Each structure stands twice: as structure tokens, then as C-alpha cells.
């Protein structure tokens, strides 16, 4: 930094000396010390980075094979070596449906002959069809007017058009339209009809929603447009409801829009011609995939309706499986992304080498250094050369400079070479790069991605655990409080009768959390919580309270269903069978419905609804949802003006002009909605403004502004022991007992307000008692209220599909998990050796040192030269590191462990044909015997299974325990500094306390402090010497001035 002194620096103006060179020479010793110490810092930082890379590799290895959290690979785990598998079979040789079997550690190998009688179910009380409101048709009086209604039955909607008249005539017209829209029953009656009370009914007990008729002033309700025969261009509409106006626009395409992209005579996805318009091809494929996804959504909707909707256990299983799918997909996406990055690097390296070794002179002559090109690079060049010759032979181009379509080989080469080379790069090239030294970075990045994914999912699991703990704790606390309350009532300490002098409500009953936690119930809760936490950590079991099936978005459910469960058409097959006419119709339909249907009018219209009918024509309507309360307290939905005008420059004429103004009478649903309030049911509350009822003796009371959903939630969270649900398909409510088996009753008592009756819980409600599971195992009859039964460590779980089946289950020891883990252990141990000895065996290059900023300025290297220099400077950074060699030596020694077998022999890894290689440079890598077959390997393991288990998981001398202790001594990050692993004490680990408490960090800090001191000294020395020489220059200047003055005086005499 310049100061007052440095600003007066003068360099040899009077003396002729190179002051700057003199000063730099005088301060060079200090400057060299700074540079030398900065190089030391850079070297220490490189060493720290290398150590941390090894720490990460060792930690990963330790976590995989020595941590109980990784149950599939932990060689310390007794359960890994004591696994069992069950094999189901029946006399018919077919699949055994409705049965799952699992055997825990310590299960008894056996054969079980099982007959399933019945499977436990819950008691269910189903309401009759819940009542809704009648549809107001009083304004449909014009016999010459068409009225549009949208009717939805079981989730499927259709538009119907009816003529006006008297109410009876309108009902007749509606029923005639419903007959055409939804069909007739076997006896000739309507499947859906409107009764004399103006309520819609489905004879199939499906939920029905009907909009209030919309009055149109234009002829009929259908615009004069066919989505299959539109023009290509932009369309816009201005829509006015009341005083609010909104504009929407969308694109349309013509029937022949895609014709040019297909081979002659075809118009389907299997015949897209090469070189077709890429934009149109991409649009065609996107439309096809959107429709396929729509099919998947529809299929998933049916799957959910038929298999998941009323089955909480199935929903929970689906949610758990989805979480695992999401986890696995994240891994696959990470791998694909890293492979894509590796591919880009392969291409970049190849193109760089191509540009270096294939050059053109100013005359266009090419020089190819084939010896410097890879096989793929040479092949790309040969293909381009051949392509150029083919184009010349076909007359597509000319090599005559005077010809109008002349193209030189250089121009053709530059146009095609890059794309040709890219087309040749495949997975083998990526794998080869991945295995190279340069490609190690991609592996490291992928491992970091994996670690980030695991960290994210571990955090997610911790969230589930805490959330579930809170939910379970609160539920158990309420149960304990209720029990304490009941005990106090029974003892006469308090009364639960209002008006009694000792009356105390449950709400006001004093029962603290500390009382709960000191009671017997708390230990039971805590044991359950620990079990749930372990289940969640090990997989995703036990998350049913948190990852509710309904909390997974419909799109994510459908994606998982599509990728894992769906047996429908895949993307390629669907595209091949998709034709242009359908693509045009689907594109136009989606744009009309999605754009017009997205227009909303707050507090007035729910939305503008655009429907494409079966004949391709378009209907547009609106539904009002606001209500006005009259003086008598009645509520009505008054008409609102509804106008739709198409744009002046529309590509298509929809038949709407300025005169197309309509009056909407709004819309009313005659189907219960769980979002509506209790008041909206039209009942009369009690004197306190509440609606009351009892279920299983438990009283409920709600204000009128509570929604039906809120009412259901309170019932489900209560001690009534039931779950209330609702389905729009049948417009019915259901009460399902929480407990399985016979003897579980569901009783209800409606209040005077009739709320339960309005929901269909009346004399027509149907009760189905639950049943017990009845099974016979090896001749023993068993009856239980549960759907699971455990015998000698083997658990059978049944669903309804199992009823009446007979099967045999054979339970055997399963050695494959342990064998797979051992083989994986050998592979990863060898990789760890490569990682560590990649540093330890790497000899330093003494000609290269770490470059400081001053070094870089002085040497003036290019960026690529700096990278190569830096790489050479890092060589040998941990050469012959004694600490690393000691750790690896200890691990190698542990592998020679053995145990005594019952037959008096010794059992070690060598029994499985696992030995160290004979090449000393391999540093003790393990290898499998070339002469031992897989069958022999498995047979040997089975013969000495218990001994191999002890070989690895003996708490004192087991290989896995020895490795764990060795690796703890090397890479442990927790505890006091002196208790951490030796490598962590040396280099620390980012993100932990050790990052700033390790020996390298301390050395770097001390060196940086020394560098700061030397820099201060250097600045002071520079200033002092510059001050001396500047003053000297000033004095010499004065002397020269005086001499000149004297000479002038002498000259004038």
C-alpha cells in the first residue's frame, strides 16, 4: 500500500542509479522467506486435502461394513449371518396370493402347512346416500331457449342441453338428456335421473353433481368449431362476468400440421422421417407423452380407487415403497448427471485433440496426424471424409469453386466433424474415462452427490422420527389422562356429572406430563417409539403417521406407479401407435380447456369451463358460487351477466361475437362436499348454535361454521374408536372400527338437529360386523383378531385375497446376504488399498514446487500450464507416509484371523478361497480363488456358517470389530481432540470441530502469522531504503542546481 514516503520515491533521476533494483536486492532475503513460507502453506494445504480424501474413503468403508445402521452390509451384525428365507408353494404350482411371510433372526427352520379360513376385518357402518340440495330449475321457463347443464357422475362429467318450459317439462327434458348421456338400466330406466324434488339420483349409488342451468342467448350452447379441423394460429377471448373482464389467448394447429414430418403414406409416430422439422417432431412427441401420462393418471386413478382408497395398510405400504423409489431415483439421477458430465468431458477432450492434430493450411489442404488420434477420433474423421465423398457422388454439393453449390472439404469438415465425433461416443468411452486418473474427479463428485442424498434422507428420517414421537406421545398422553380421570371418578375423588359439587370435566382435570412420564404407560410408549425410530432408520417402515398417503402429490404417485407398477404402454410403444389426427385433436383440446379453464373470477365464478364434446365441438360456461342472504334469512345465488367475445384477429371463428351475452344462474351441487360447512346442509342448530351426536357413546358438538372435513377429523382423533370417511363415488359416509375382529360394535345416536341423518346415518345405514382370522398351521387351529400370526420367529400376514387358500411355507437359512456382503467387502477393501497407496506410492517430482502468486507472475504460465505444474507439484505429497502404512498394515494383519471349527480345523478367509495376491506391489489386495466355483464357495460357507459369523462378528477378535477399532483409531471425528483418529488429528474433517483443531491447521496458522510478520518487515525495509535513496536523489539534485548556478555566474563575468 502506498504511503507518503512511497509517493516521493525517485529512481536515479540525478544519480543515474537503478534505485528499484538496489532496494529489491537489499530486501530480497525477506522476500524469499515470504515466498518460501507461502509455498509451505500450499504444500500443507495439499497434504490436508489428500489426508481428507483418504479419511472420507476410510469412513465410507467403515460405515458400510462396521456400522449397525447398514444392516445389509454390516459384518458386525449377527442378523446378517443368521438370515432366513421363506418359500411359498401350493399344490397347483401357482402364485400364493394375499400372503406375505417374513422370518426374523433366530427363526426355526421348518416346513409349515397352512390353511386359511377367514382373514380379520373391521366392523363397518355405511350410511345411506347422503342428501344434498335440489337443483334450481325455476328460471328455465323459455320454451324457445336452450339451457346448458354440466352433470358429473362418479367423477365423469358430461354437458347436456335442455329446452325450457314448466318445471315438470324441464325435468322431463333433463331426464331425456340424461338417458342419452349416461344410458339405461336393464329394466329400461335411467341410470341417472332428476326426481320430483329436483334432486339428482344415480341408481348405481354413485355421487352426482349437477350445475344449475346456464341460460344462453345464442342458439344452443355449443360454439361452431371442431377441434379436429381448426386453423393454425392464435386465438383470444375476452370474458366478462359482472363488472370484471379478463382476456385469455391460446394456440391452435390445423389437421395437416404434422403431415410433413412423416414418411410418405404414413401419419403415425412409428414413421417419423429422418431429418424432419425438429420443432414439429419435438411437439408431436411431447403431445404423445402428455397423452400417455394422461392414460397413466387414469390407470393410476382406477388403481387407487380399486386397491388403495379404503385400505389404510395398502396406502401405508404404497407410501413406504414410494419413499424408497424416490430415494433410489435420486441415486440414479445423480449417476446419470455425473455420467453426462463425464461424457461432456470426453467429448471436450476429444475435440481438443482433434483440433490439435487435424489442421488445414491457407489453401485448404488437410494435415492428419493419425498416430496422435484415438480410434474414435480417427473413425470420426474417416466418416466425415466418406460423407463428403458421398455428397459429391450424389451431386448434393460440388468441389468446383466456380459451381453455385461449391463446398470445400474444410467447410464440410467444420460443419460435420463435431456432431460426427459426438455420435460415436458411447458408454464404453465414458467407462474408460471414468476409470482414468482424470476421471477420478467424476467418481468423487458422484460420491459427494450420494453423500448429499443420504444426508438429506437421513435428515428426513429424523424429521419423521421426531414428528411421529410427538404424535404418538400426544395420543398416549391423552389416553393416560383419560385413564387417570376415569380412576379419579371411580374412586369418588371427582364427578363427571355436570351439576355435581365435585364435578370436573376431562378438559379441566389436572394431569401433568411429568405424571404421565413417571407412569407405567410411558415406558410402553417409549419402547414403541424406539422400535418405530429403528424401523424408520433401517428402511421407511413406521412412517404412517407422517408420510400420509394423501400427502404425496398425485403426480408423484402416478410417476412411481408408472415406473414401478404400471403394465401399460411405454413411451416408445405409445409413440409408435400415436397418429397425427389424434395429436391435433389432443393439442387443441388441451389448449382450449387448460387456458379457458384457468380463468377465475373471485367471489363470483368458480371458473370458466371449456368442454370439448365427443363430436369435437366446444362448450363454454361458467358457475357462480357466491350467495346473497335475504331479509328472511334465506340464501340465494342471483344471476350475473356473463359475456364472451372472441378477438378480431382470431385464427378460428368460435361463433361468439359481441351479441353472445349470457345470463348465468350459477351452479349448485346436490352432492355432499367435505369442504362445505355444517350450516350449508340446511339444518337448524340447537339453542347454543351447535349440532350434536354420539358415536360409541362419545359425544360430539360442532358449530355451524365447522366444515364436514373438520367434523370428520375430530371424530377420527377421538376415543370413539372409529374412522369416518367419505366417498364421492357413492355419496356415502363410512364409520370403520379401528380394531379388527368380531365383537366390535359401532353405535350412533343423532342429536335433535339431525346432522347424522343428513349424512345418511339413519335407519337405512348398514352395519357389517368384523371377522377374525382363522388359520390352521400344521394341523393346529388358530383364531386371532389380527391379520398377522407369528410362530417360531416366522410371521404370516394375510389379506382378503388369501381366504380359502392352502399353501406350504418352507423356512431355511439364507446365506446369500452374508456371502454378498463378504464379496462386496473384498471389492471395497481393494479399492481402499488403491486409494491409500495411490498417495503412498506416488514418488515426488523434486523439479516442481507449489507456485505462489509471485511465482505465477514471474513465470507467466498459461492456465493449462499452471494446472499441469500444480498436478506435478502435488506428486508425492504423502509419499511413504508411515501413519498410512501402519493403518493399512494393521488392517492386513486382521484379515489373517481365524477361528476354531467344531471338526478341529481352522476357519479363515482362505477357506473361502480368499487370499492376498502374490504381487508385492498390490499391498495385500485380496483375490478369490480362480479354481473355486460359486457353488463350492456357497457350500463351504454353509458348512462353516457359524464359524464365519464368529470370524467377522466376534466382539473381541472378529475381523469387522478389529477393522472398526483400527478405523476408529484413524478417522474417528467425535470426542476430545486427543481421542480422535490419528488422521483426523493430523488433517481434520470439514464441517466438524476437528476442522480447526488439527496439526496441519495449526502449522498453516503459524506459517500465516509468520508470513504476516515478514510482510510487515518487508514493507518497512522497502520504505526505509526508498527513503534513503530518495533523500540522496534530492541532495544530488540540490548540488547539481548550485553547480549550474555558479557556472552561470562565472559565464556572465
Segments making up each domain of the chain, as ranges? 146-210, 329-438, 442-547, 674-771
In whole angstroms, what is the distance from residue 69 CA to residue 77 CA? Answer: 10
Closest CA to 198 of 210, 188, 180: 210
User: What is the predicted pLDDT for the residue at 434?
Assistant: 79
Closest CA to 873 of 42, 138, 17: 42
DSSP class per residue in 115-145: EEEE---EEEEE--PPP-PPP--TT---TT-
- CA-angle at 292, arms to 289 and 293, nearest 5°: 85
**Whether domain 674-771 has CATH 3.30.70:** yes
In whole angstroms, what is the distance from residue 1048 CA to residue 1053 CA? Answer: 9
What is the Cα 774 distance to its own chain's centre?
41
In whole angstroms, what is the distance from residue 132 CA to residue 728 CA? Answer: 12
In whole angstroms, what is the distance from residue 881 CA to residue 48 CA? Answer: 13
Is residue 161 a contact partner of residue 177, using CB atoms and an 8 Å limit?
yes
In whole angstroms, what is the distance from residue 679 CA to residue 758 CA? Answer: 12
Chunked mean pLDDT (size 10), the chain, 1053 residues: 45 70 87 92 95 96 91 89 88 85 86 90 84 73 76 72 87 90 85 84 73 47 66 82 75 91 88 87 89 80 78 77 80 84 89 93 89 92 92 86 82 91 90 81 78 76 68 76 86 85 84 73 66 64 55 77 76 87 89 75 60 68 53 51 69 59 41 76 87 95 92 94 84 90 90 90 89 91 90 89 87 92 96 96 91 88 87 93 94 92 89 91 92 91 92 91 95 91 94 92 94 92 86 78 68 60
User: What is the predicted pLDDT for the residue at 760?
Assistant: 87
Write out pLDDT tens, residues 4-43.
Answer: 344 445 555 666 778 888 888 888 899 899 999 999 999 9
Task: Residue count of the chain, please give it.
Answer: 1053
The H or E element that residue 833 is part of is helix 816-840
In whole angstroms, what is the distance from residue 847 CA to residue 634 CA? Answer: 96
User: What is the predicted pLDDT for the residue at 130?
Assistant: 61
Write out pLDDT tens, residues 160-219.
Answer: 778 889 989 999 999 998 888 888 888 888 888 888 888 888 777 666 777 666 653 333
With helix as H, strand as E and coil as C, how does 588-625 read? HHHHHHHHHCCCCECCCEEEEEEEECCCCCEEEEEEEC
- Residue 435 grid cell: 476409470
Closest CA to 310 of 470, 473, 121: 121
Amino acid at each position: 500500500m502506498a504511503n507518503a514516503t512511497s509517493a516521493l520515491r525517485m529512481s536515479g533521476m540525478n544519480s543515474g542509479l537503478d534505485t528499484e533494483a538496489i532496494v529489491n536486492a537489499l530486501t530480497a532475503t525477506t522476500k524469499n522467506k515470504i515466498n518460501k513460507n507461502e509455498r509451505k502453506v500450499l504444500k500443507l494445504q495439499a497434504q490436508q486435502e489428500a489426508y481428507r480424501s483418504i479419511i472420507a474413503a476410510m469412513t465410507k468403508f467403515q460405515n458400510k461394513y462396521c456400522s449397525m445402521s447398514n444392516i445389509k452390509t454390516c459384518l458386525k451384525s449377527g442378523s446378517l449371518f443368521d438370515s432366513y428365507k421363506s418359500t411359498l408353494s401350493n399344490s397347483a404350482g401357482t402364485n400364493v396370493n394375499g400372503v406375505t411371510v417374513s422370518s426374523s433372526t433366530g427363526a426355526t427352520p421348518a416346513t409349515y402347512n397352512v390353511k386359511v379360513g377367514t382373514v380379520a376385518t373391521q366392523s363397518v357402518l355405511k350410511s345411506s346416500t347422503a342428501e344434498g340440495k335440489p337443483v334450481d330449475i325455476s328460471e328455465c321457463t323459455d320454451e324457445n331457449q336452450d339451457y346448458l347443464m354440466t352433470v358429473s357422475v362418479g367423477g365423469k362429467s358430461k354437458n347436456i342441453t335442455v329446452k325450457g318450459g314448466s318445471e315438470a317439462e324441464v325435468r322431463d327434458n333433463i331426464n331425456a338428456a340424461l338417458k342419452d348421456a349416461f344410458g339405461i338400466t336393464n329394466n329400461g330406466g335411467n341410470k341417472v335421473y332428476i326426481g320430483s324434488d329436483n334432486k339428482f339420483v344415480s341408481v348405481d349409488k354413485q355421487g352426482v353433481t349437477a350445475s344449475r342451468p346456464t341460460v344462453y342467448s345464442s342458439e344452443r350452447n355449443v360454439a361452431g368449431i371442431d377441434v379436429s379441423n381448426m386453423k393454425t394460429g392464435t386465438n383470444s377471448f375476452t370474458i366478462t362476468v359482472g363488472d370484471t373482464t379478463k382476456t385469455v389467448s391460446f394456440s391452435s394447429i390445423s389437421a395437416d400440421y404434422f403431415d410433413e414430418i412423416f414418411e410418405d403414406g404414413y401419419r403415425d409416430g412409428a414413421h417419423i422421417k429422418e431429418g424432419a422439422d425438429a420443432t414439429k417432431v419435438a411437439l408431436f412427441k411431447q403431445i404423445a407423452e402428455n397423452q400417455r401420462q394422461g392414460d397413466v393418471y387414469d390407470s393410476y386413478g382406477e388403481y387407487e380407487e380399486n386397491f388403495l382408497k379404503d385400505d389404510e395398510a395398502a396406502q401405508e405400504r404404497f407410501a413406504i415403497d414410494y419413499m424408497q423409489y424416490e430415494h433410489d431415483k435420486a441415486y440414479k439421477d445423480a449417476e446419470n448427471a455425473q455420467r453426462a458430465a463425464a461424457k461432456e468431458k470426453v467429448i471436450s477432450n476429444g475435440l481438443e485433440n482433434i483440433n490439435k492434430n487435424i489442421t488445414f493450411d491457407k489453401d485448404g489442404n488437410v494435415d492428419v496426424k493419425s498416430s496422435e488420434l484415438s480410434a474414435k477420433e480417427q473413425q470420426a474423421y474417416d466418416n466425415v471424409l466418406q460423407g463428403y465423398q458421398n455428397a459429391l457422388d450424389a451431386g448434393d454439393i460440388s468441389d468446383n469453386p466456380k459451381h453455385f453449390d461449391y463446398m470445400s472439404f474444410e467447410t464440410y469438415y467444420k460443419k460435420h466433424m463435431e456432431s460426427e465425433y459426438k455420435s460415436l461416443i458411447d458408454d464404453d468411452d465414458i467407462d474408460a474415462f471414468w476409470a482414468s486418473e482424470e476421471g477420478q474427479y467424476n467418481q468423487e463428485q458422484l460420491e459427494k452427490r450420494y453423500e448429499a442424498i443420504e444426508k438429506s434422507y437421513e435428515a428426513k428420517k429424523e424429521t419423521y422420527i421426531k414428528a411421529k414421537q410427538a404424535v404418538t406421545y400426544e395420543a398416549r398422553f391423552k389416553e393416560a389422562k383419560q385413564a387417570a380421570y376415569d380412576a379419579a371418578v371411580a374412586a369418588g375423588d371427582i364427578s363427571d356429572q355436570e351439576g355435581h359439587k365435585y364435578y370436573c370435566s376431562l378438559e379441566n382435570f389436572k394431569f401433568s406430563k411429568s405424571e404421565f412420564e413417571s407412569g407405567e404407560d410411558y415406558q410402553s410408549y417409549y419402547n414403541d417409539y424406539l422400535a418405530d425410530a429403528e424401523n424408520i432408520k433401517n428402511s421407511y417402515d413406521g412412517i404412517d403417521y407422517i408420510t400420509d398417503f394423501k400427502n404425496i402429490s398425485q403426480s408423484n404417485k402416478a410417476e412411481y406407479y408408472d415406473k414401478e407398477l404400471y403394465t401399460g404402454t411405454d413411451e416408445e410403444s405409445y409413440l409408435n401407435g400415436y397418429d397425427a389426427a389424434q395429436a391435433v385433436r389432443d393439442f387443441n383440446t388441451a389448449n382450449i380447456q387448460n387456458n379457458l379453464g384457468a380463468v377465475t373470477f373471485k367471489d363470483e365464478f368458480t371458473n370458466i369451463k371449456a368442454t370439448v364434446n365427443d363430436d369435437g365441438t366446444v362448450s363454454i360456461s361458467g358457475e357462480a358460487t357466491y350467495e346473497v342472504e335475504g331479509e328472511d334469512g334465506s340464501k340465494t345465488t342471483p344471476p350475473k351477466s356473463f359475456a364472451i367475445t372472441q378477438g378480431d384477429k382470431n385464427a378460428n371463428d368460435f361463433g361468439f361475437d359481441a351479441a353472445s351475452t349470457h345470463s348465468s344462474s350459477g351452479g349448485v351441487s346436490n352432492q355432499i362436499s367435505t369442504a362445505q360447512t355444517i350450516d350449508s346442509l340446511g339444518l337448524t342448530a340447537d339453542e347454543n348454535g351447535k349440532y350434536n351426536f354420539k358415536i360409541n357413546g362419545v359425544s360430539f358438538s360442532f358449530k355451524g361454521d365447522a366444515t364436514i372435513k373438520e367434523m370428520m377429523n375430530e371424530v377420527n382423533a377421538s376415543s370413539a374408536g372409529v374412522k369416518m370417511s367419505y366417498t364421492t363415488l357413492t355419496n356415502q359416509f363410512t364409520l370403520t372400527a379401528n380394531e379388527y375382529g368380531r365383537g366390535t360394535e359401532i353405535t350412533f345416536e343423532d342429536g335433535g338437529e339431525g346432522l347424522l341423518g343428513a349424512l345418511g346415518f339413519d335407519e337405512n345405514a348398514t352395519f357389517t360386523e368384523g371377522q377374525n382370522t382363522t388359520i390352521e398351521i400344521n394341523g393346529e387351529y388358530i383364531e386371532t383378531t389380527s391379520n398377522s400370526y407369528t410362530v417360531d420367529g416366522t410371521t404370516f400376514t394375510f389379506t382378503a385375497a388369501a381366504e380359502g387358500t392352502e399353501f406350504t411355507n418352507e423356512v431355511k437359512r439364507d446365506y446369500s446376504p452374508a456371502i454378498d456382503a463378504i464379496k462386496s467387502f473384498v471389492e471395497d477393501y481393494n479399492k481402499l488399498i488403491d486409494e491409500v497407496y495411490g498417495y503412498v506410492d506416488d514418488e515426488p517430482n523434486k523439479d516442481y514446487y507449489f507456485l505462489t502468486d509471485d511465482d505465477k507472475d514471474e513465470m507467466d504460465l498459461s492456465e493449462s500450464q499452471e494446472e499441469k505444474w500444480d498436478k506435478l507439484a502435488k506428486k508425492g505429497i504423502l509419499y511413504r507416509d508411515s501413519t498410512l502404512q501402519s493403518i493399512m498394515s494393521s488392517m492386513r494383519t486382521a484379515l489373517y484371523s481365524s477361528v476354531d471349527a467344531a471338526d478341529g480345523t481352522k476357519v479363515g478367509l482362505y477357506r473361502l478361497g480368499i487370499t492376498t495376491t502374490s504381487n508385492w506391489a498390490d499391498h495385500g489386495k485380496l483375490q478369490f480363488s480362480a479354481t473355486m466355483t460359486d457353488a463350492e464357495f456357497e457350500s463351504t460357507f454353509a458348512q462353516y456358517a457359524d464359524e464365519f459369523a464368529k470370524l467377522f462378528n466376534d466382539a473381541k477378535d472378529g475381523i469387522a470389530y478389529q477393522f472398526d477399532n483400527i478405523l476408529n483409531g484413524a478417522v474417528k471425528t467425535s470426542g476430545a481432540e486427543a481421542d480422535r483418529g490419528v488422521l483426523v488429528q493430523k488433517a481434520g474433517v470439514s464441517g466438524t470441530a476437528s476442522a480447526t483443531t488439527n496439526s496441519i491447521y495449526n502449522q498453516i496458522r503459524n506459517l500465516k502469522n509468520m508470513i504476516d510478520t515478514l510482510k510487515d518487515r518487508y514493507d518497512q525495509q522497502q520504505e526505509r531504503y526508498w527513503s534513503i535513496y530518495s533523500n540522496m536523489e534530492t541532495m544530488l539534485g540540490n548540488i547539481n542546481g548550485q553547480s549550474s548556478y555558479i557556472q552561470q555566474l562565472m559565464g556572465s563575468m
